[in-house]
């Protein structure tokens, strides 16, 4: 059943209701396929993500994790099948209630604070307090006026996450956001993601790092060669994986 939003203008359907955790309306992938160079890189994938918290998409390099995230967020079009949010195909209104952080931060050639303000402006939000809060959470307040392109890799990625969180997305996609960062930035990013999840943002986090998945995940989607070979509670997945490829992954073995 679709529920009209009470917060925003009419004709928008809730993806996630912050006030009642059980009313998460599922994200459905139906026979989702992405084909390139004569290969199904995402291969007839059926998936229903219907619980709040952090869903980690885990898998070997090349499994199709980044492609899946791009399909879910509508950055690329499926060759076949569909993505449905709360029963509706993805549209711009739904996309505006989501945010994404890429492995390599994509920042404006402006100051730190202008990057945040620009993101707020695109959503029609004017809120200085929120800007200051996300900068503080990211540990960037002291360098708010510095050009974003002069920041270190860790600072840039913390800014990319702060900018995503500033718009208070209902769904936050992250594609290996802390790859190659030092432990303090990894920690800051993970803490901010968990905090957003506790406040009600649905998090879909792609990583190939087992320890990170163990720290963050409520649920795991294990992706292998474009198929979701497992989807379930994180504890169960780590203690008792069902598929051969997930077992190999957890044991640090190549799967051939």
Ligand X SMILES: Nc1ncnc2c1ncn2[C@@H]1O[C@H](COP(=O)(O)OP(=O)(O)O)[C@@H](O)[C@H]1O
Beta strands at 98-101 and 27-36: parallel, antiparallel or unpaired: unpaired
Give the DSSP per-residue string, 41-90.
EEEEEEEEE---SEEEEE-STTSSHHHHHHHHTTSS--SEEEEEETTEE-
Verify binding: residue 41, ligand X, rule CB under 6 A.
yes
Q: Which is nearer to ligand X, 43 or 114 (CB)?
A: 43
Q: Which is nearer to ligand X, 119 or 246 (CB)?
A: 246
Cβ density class 137-165: b for 16+ within 10 Å, e for less: bbbbeebbeeebeebeebbbbbbbbbbbb
Among 9, 11, 22, 37, contact with ligand X (rule: CB under 6 A): 37
Residue 90: which residues within 8 A CB-CB, separation 6 or more?
73, 74, 83, 84
Among 3, 36, 187, 253, contact with ligand X (rule: CB under 6 A): 36
Backbone angles phi, psi at 169, to 5 degrees: -70, 150
Verify binding: residue 207, Mg ion, rule CB under 5 A.
no
Give the number of residues in contact with ligand X, rule: CB under 6 A. 11
| String of contacts with ligand X for each residue 56-95, x by CB under 6 A | ---x-xxxxxxx----------------------------
Q: Whole-number minimum distance, CB 123 to ligand X, in Å?
A: 28
Piece of the chain touching ligand X by CB under 6 A; list 54-62, 187-195, 231-239, 247-255: 54-62
Residues in touch with Mg ion (CB under 5 A): 66
């Amino acid at each position: 059943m679709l529920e009209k939003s009470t917060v925003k203008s009419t004709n928008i359907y809730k993806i996630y209701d912050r006030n009642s955790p059980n009313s998460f309306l599922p994200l459905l992938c139906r026979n989702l396929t992405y084909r390139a160079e004569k290969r199904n890189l995402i291969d007839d994938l059926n998936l229903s993500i219907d619980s709040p918290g952090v869903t980690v998409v885990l898998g070997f390099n090349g499994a199709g994790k980044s492609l899946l995230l791009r399909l879910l967020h509508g950055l690329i079009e499926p060759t076949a099948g569909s993505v449905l949010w709360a029963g509706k195909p993805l549209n711009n209104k739904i996309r505006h209630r989501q945010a994404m952080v890429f492995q390599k931060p994509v920042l404006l050639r402006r100051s730190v604070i202008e990057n945040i303000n620009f993101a707020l402006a695109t959503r029609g939000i004017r809120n200085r307090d929120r800007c200051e809060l996300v900068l503080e959470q990211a540990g960037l307040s002291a360098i708010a006026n510095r050009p974003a392109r002069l920041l270190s890799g860790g600072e840039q990625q913390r800014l990319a996450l702060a900018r995503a969180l500033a718009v208070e997305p209902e769904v936050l996609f992250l594609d290996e956001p802390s790859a190659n960062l030092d432990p303090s930035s990894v920690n800051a990013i993970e803490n901010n993601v968990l905090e957003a999840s506790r406040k009600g943002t649905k998090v879909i986090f792609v990583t190939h790092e087992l320890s990170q998945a163990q720290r963050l995940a409520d649920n795991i989607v294990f992706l292998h060669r474009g198929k979701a070979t497992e989807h379930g509670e994180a504890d169960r997945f780590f203690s008792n994986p069902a598929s051969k490829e997930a077992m190999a992954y957890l044991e640090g073995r190549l799967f051939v």
